[in-house]
Amino acid sequence: MGSKTLTRADLAEALVDKVGLPRNESQELVELVLSEISNALADGEPVKLSSFGSFGIREKGERIGRNPKTGEEVPITPRRVLVFRPSNIMKDRINAGLAQHRKAAE
Amino acid sequence: MIKSELIQKISATNAHLYHRDVERIVNVIFGEIVDALARGDRVELRGFGAFRVKYRAPRIGRNPRTGASVSVDEKFVPFFKTGKELRERMNQGDAD
């Protein structure tokens, strides 16, 4: 199985290779895509990307937590959390890809 | 926001790109992420978040309605962990 980590630079490189854009513009576009998504989420707006997945927002109420080290009870403030739901296409492609990897490794 | 709206926003600030090019750009970016996960790689986008796959061993499950046992194959499931900056931005300002 793979063990590499992809970063923004790899995504930008893919735009250079596959779309033929200059490198600096590719970097800007990767950043722009991520920031548009972040802006929507920061505004409390869910983001759905067909064939990829959706980023939803869940509101969490206040609850009592514990400091695991001291056992002391501390309130956990209400907060918003992001939940990602992968599309079926993504799930299928991941399983198909990794099944292939396993066979190759055997 | 859905994908077409994302494409529109990017087109609006990049008038020199054709709409179909922007579509392709967005699809290439997310396609690369899926391809990486399908290889078992991680994708780390600082400030935004990280995607990775987790392994789920095969198990004997049950049909909750009938109680019949069914074997569930091993599988890989994608996970996303929100980045620090985005998590903080989501919890700032007015919650509306």
Mean pLDDT confidence for A17-22 = 96
- Total of domains in chain B: 1
Set of chain A residues whose Cβ sits within 8 Å of the Cβ of B35 = 97
Q: How far is CA B75 from the centre of its chain?
A: 17
In a domain, B11, yes or no: yes
What CA–CA distance (Å, rounded) separates B26 from A100? 27
In a domain, B34, yes or no: yes
Chain A residues 12-71 with CB within 8 Å of chain B:
14-15, 18-19, 21, 29-30, 32-34, 36-38, 40-42, 44-53, 55, 57, 59
The mean pLDDT of chain A is: 92
Q: Does A15 have pLDDT greater than 90?
A: yes
In a domain, B54, yes or no: yes
In a domain, B96, yes or no: no
Set of chain B residues whose Cβ sits within 8 Å of the Cβ of A91 = 77-78
Contact (CB, 8 A) for B25 and A15: yes
Residue among A29, A4, A36 at smallest CA distance from B35 = A4
Residue among A55, A105, A83 at smallest CA distance from B30 = A55
Residue of A nearest to B21 (CA): A19
CATH value at residue B38: 4.10.520.10
Show the tokens assigned to A102. Answer: 């396993």
Q: Which residues contact A80 (CB under 8 A, 6 or more apart)?
A: A44, A57, A58, A59, A60, B90, B91, B95
3-state secondary structure (DSSP) of residue A72: coil
Set of chain A residues whose Cβ sits within 8 Å of the Cβ of B21 = 19
- Quick one: pLDDT at residue A2? 63
Q: What is the pLDDT of residues B24-83, one digit of tens each?
A: 999 999 999 999 999 999 999 999 999 999 999 999 999 999 989 999 989 999 999 999
pLDDT tier for residue A101 given thresholds of 50, 70 and 90: confident
- Quick one: pLDDT at residue A98? 79
Q: Best interface-test mutation with B: which of A13, A24, A51, A90 has the largest number of B CBs within 10 A? A: A90
Contact B89 A18 (CB under 8 A): no
- Quick one: pLDDT at residue B89? 94
The domain containing residue B43 runs over which residues? 3-91
